[in-house]
Amino acid sequence: MNQQEGYADDIVKGFVIWSMVWGLVAVLVGVFISFQIAFPQLNFPPYLTYGRLRPIHTNAGIFGWGIGSFMAFFIYITQRLTRTSLWSPGLAKAQLWLFNIVIALAAVTLAMGMNRSKEYAELEWPVASLVVVLWVIFAVNIVMTIVKRREEQMYISLWYILATLVGVAVLYLVNNAAIPVSLTKSYSAYAGANDANVQWWYGHNAVAMVLTTPPLAIFYYFLPKATGVPIYSHRMSVVAFWSLIFMYLWTGAHHLLWAPVPDWVQTLAMGFSVMLIAPSWAAVFNGYFSMNGQWHQMRENYLVKFLIFGITFYGMQTLQGPSQSIRTFSAFIHFTDWVPGHVHMGTLGWVSLVLFAAIYYTIPRLYHTEIYSIPLANVHFWLVLTGQLIFSITMWIAGVQQAAMLNATNPDGSLHYSFIETMVELYPYWHMRALGGVIYLAGLLVFLYNIYQTINGGKTQAAAQRA
Amino acid sequence: MIEKKPIIFLLLATATILVGTIITMVLPFRWINDPKLAIASVKPYTPLQLEGRDIYIREGCNNCHTQTVRPLLSDTERYGEYSKSGEFVYDQPFLWGSRRNGPDLARIGGKYPDAWHVKHMKDPRSMVPRSNMPAYDFLNRPLDTSLSERKMKALKFPYTQADLDALKGKSEMDAIIAYMQKVGNDIPWRKTGTAAVLGELKNPFQDNMSVLPEGQKLYAEHCAQCHGIELAGEVGPDLRDLDQPDAKVFATVFSGIAAGGMPAFGDTLGKERTWKVVTYLKSVHKH
């Protein structure tokens, strides 16, 4: 089925390749800013300071690597699940160009300090407007392909794809509402606590609609493809789908616990965050139970390792997240390094591992060849896993230590440590994190080399056949 | 059933997403920033403060500094009065942040004199030895004021021609410091919030030479950045030959001088360590 004629697969190749380019940028900048935190002399103002580079790291990661590869796999998966070629390959080609222009513009404008300051919505209004155009082009193409489909039933991946298309649109439009002053400067349309509440409704649901539903769509498609066994329970995935997209939208204010937004909004966010464990773990169980009788594939099939470790990190992420959204625990670890540790388990552990599997699966098929080296894929796996675990575990320990120091009091009730006394104790942890980042980067380079050689091999074979 | 009807499916999914959105994001607009909850003393930004705020945003200061004090002991003792929603009604965007690589800045206004900020921005490690903040020396360049009036209009903030004229000749450093000095300082919390020291103030370490090394070490960490390692004064006054009773010196270090830019150290040092610093201060003379 994968070799079928008529699918717009060149565009999938384009998105996969460019998402890998931006993924490399995200990790390179990430490693660099982790060194900047440990060694402040590495800040080179005005353009290369931590304050300006961190948004480039997050935007390249979420939008360049994340959205870029989701666009690739949404196009790939939708065509196959509908047994229909893409509605408009020409539009998709324009979309790829626009995507790269937007991400490049984002990097340049952020380095120049054009920044709205709202996390993951930093882009100034002209660039943000291009993002909206990009998303509309993409959504129309996917929806129209589904509408004219030849397979009547929509598989669960298509559900997650459709929810992503509408969810991202609503979130992005509302949170980017701005009062423009010039082409390079605007102010948020909302003020103070309202702006905060809108921002974290957006911020947390970017996690839902960018870092959860698209990887789930990809996971539900590629796990059966990679293992050759069907998903354990369609019904469970359907129940989980509706409860997930219902409950996620209530939880944004768990980023604002103890902040001056209404108490009842915080309490609702806390309650729904805990309830989200159920649909999240439904997906985890669906992954695990599908593997019943197939666990030997963890040893024999390198793709399964990526997918099952990915869904496992998703499971851990969706237990840790709800625990952090409880007021008492949040009071302790919020604002410390614990939180970056949590975030990177999700982005490096869950999202990226699933994407690696999807790329390993599709690239050889798109180029009609075999993967260049399975041993290298295994090296890649263990390097990124080690790097990510060093990163996350180090940051959890650092966060708990700093929180404990910040809360320590003297017998007379005064605080035992000044802020800087708690901060200087973090340097050893920051060195460890930078090391974790370097190991992860090494793993990523092995991956890119493997994919590069695979594509090259495919092209050589094709040339040989023609000759 | 529904898995065969993509358009109906899309509409249903949208409706599902909108329930939580409307209840937790749209409805709160009804209560947040209600004029009834306004704090009269909280004022909009002046053109210079607004330009400073825009530099704060441009440099991404919010990536390392939060601006919200939670009603928790470790926050209020360390930073000051907890934040109230009425204090942020002119903040577009809000700058509460999400990670404290550096300290919270919600109550930074009025904590230090301008000269402290200039020195700290130029070379953070000269003031806080192991700080990892980047140096912002380059902010000494002239402030670009070409958009200042349009910015004030866009946000509907009141301003006079004199306010705009006052921008002439200012540097970016002047602007960001003007902003820093306003943050969290519109409510009179420093006057009402200062902890009064109860009971007779008697130095438990009077004439006790053994505490001098620790007192000197505490001085080097907390005081030397403004008063100089030799106590000769710099940002703050010369402290040699301090002709004041121990109790008076203690009160100044413990509670600060709100009008003079001297921060209160009682929350970070506690009573015992403050007395040690006092004992050290009184022991230093010009010779």
pLDDT tens digits for range B149-189? 999 999 999 999 999 999 999 999 999 999 999 999 999 88
CA atoms within 13 A on the CB side of B22: 6
Q: How many beta-carbon contacts under 8 Å exist across A and B? A: 263
Report the DSSP beta bridge partners of residue A186: A180
Is the minimum CB–CB distance between B58 and chain A shorter than 8 Å?
A: yes
- What is the Cα gyration radius of chain A? 22
B192 or A194, higher pLDDT = A194
Q: What is residue A1's predicted lDDT score, i.e. its pLDDT?
A: 39
Identity of the residue numbered A157: S
pTM of the model: 0.94
Does this chain's domain B47-192 share its CATH topology with B209-283? yes
Q: What is residue B196's predicted lDDT score, i.e. its pLDDT?
A: 63
Q: What is residue B23's predicted lDDT score, i.e. its pLDDT?
A: 97
pLDDT of B266 over the 90 cut: no
B196 or B98, higher pLDDT = B98
Place of tokens 């008529």: A6
CB of B235 closer than 8 Å to CB of B226: yes
Is there a domain that residue A30 lies in? yes
A12 or B35, higher pLDDT = A12
Which of B20, B54, B103 is the closest to A250 by Cβ? B20
- A178-182/A185-188 β-pairing: antiparallel
pLDDT of B214 over the 80 cut: yes
Local structure of B257: helix, strand or coil: strand
pLDDT tens digits for range B120-155? 999 999 888 899 999 999 999 999 999 999 999 999
- Give the class (CATH, top level) of B209-283: mainly alpha
Interface of B with A in 245-274 (CB under 8 A): 266-272
CB of A16 closer than 8 Å to CB of A65: no
Q: What is residue A385's predicted lDDT score, i.e. its pLDDT?
A: 98
Residue A384 is encoded by which pair of tokens? 């990124």
Cα A96 from Cα A428, distance rounded (Å): 42
Q: What is residue A467's predicted lDDT score, i.e. its pLDDT?
A: 72
Cα dihedral A391, A226, A20, A123 sign: negative
Q: What is the mean pLDDT of residues B206-222?
A: 91
Q: What is residue B82's predicted lDDT score, i.e. its pLDDT?
A: 96
CA distances from A11 to A54, A75, A85, B77, B207 (A): 30, 8, 12, 57, 82
Burial category of B141 from C-beta neighbours within 10 Å (exposed 0-12, middle 13-18, buried 19 and up): exposed
CA atoms within 13 A on the CB side of B263: 23
Cα B220 from Cα A278, distance rounded (Å): 54
Cα dihedral A347, A353, A359, A361 sign: negative
Cα dihedral B110, B112, B115, B120 sign: negative
Number of domain units in chain A: 1
CB of A387 closer than 8 Å to CB of A440: yes
- What is the Cα gyration radius of chain B? 24
- Name the minimum distance, in Å, from the CA of A305 to any CA of chain B: 31
Which of A162, A248, A415 is the closest to B10 by Cβ? A162
Local structure of A328: helix, strand or coil: helix
Is there a domain that residue A355 lies in? no
Contacts of B271 in chain A (CB under 8 A): 412, 414
Please give the CATH architecture assigned to the domain spanning B47-192: Orthogonal Bundle (1.10)
Q: Residue A170: which domain range?
A: 1-189
Cα A326 from Cα A330, distance rounded (Å): 6
Is there a domain that residue A369 lies in? no
Q: What is residue B193's predicted lDDT score, i.e. its pLDDT?
A: 53
- Name the minimum distance, in Å, from the CA of B276 to any CA of chain A: 15
Q: What is residue A96's predicted lDDT score, i.e. its pLDDT?
A: 98
DSSP A417-431: S-HHHHHHTTHHHHH
Q: What is residue A463's predicted lDDT score, i.e. its pLDDT?
A: 86
**Model confidence at B194, in pLDDT bands (50, 70, 90)?**
low
Q: What is residue B200's predicted lDDT score, i.e. its pLDDT?
A: 74
**Model confidence at B61, in pLDDT bands (50, 70, 90)?**
very high
Is the minimum CB–CB distance between B84 and chain A shorter than 8 Å?
A: yes
Mark yes or no for CB contact B154/A49 under 8 Å.
no
**CATH number (domain holding residue A112):** 1.20.210.10
Complex ipTM over 0.90: yes
Sketch the domain layout of chain B as residue ranges: 2-30, 47-192, 209-283
CB within 8 Å of B77: residues ≥ 6 apart: A414, A415, B267
Mark yes or no for CB contact A246/B266 under 8 Å.
no
Residue A59 is encoded by which pair of tokens? 């935007």
Tell me what the pLDDT averaged over chain A comes to.
96
Contacts of B137 in chain A (CB under 8 A): 45
Identity of the residue numbered A456: N
Which of B6, B74, B89 is the closest to A407 by Cβ? B74
**Which regions of chain A are under pLDDT 70?**
1-5
**Model confidence at B198, in pLDDT bands (50, 70, 90)?**
low
Which of B60, B154, B267 is the closest to A414 by Cβ? B267
pLDDT of B27 over the 60 cut: yes
Is there a domain that residue A420 lies in? no
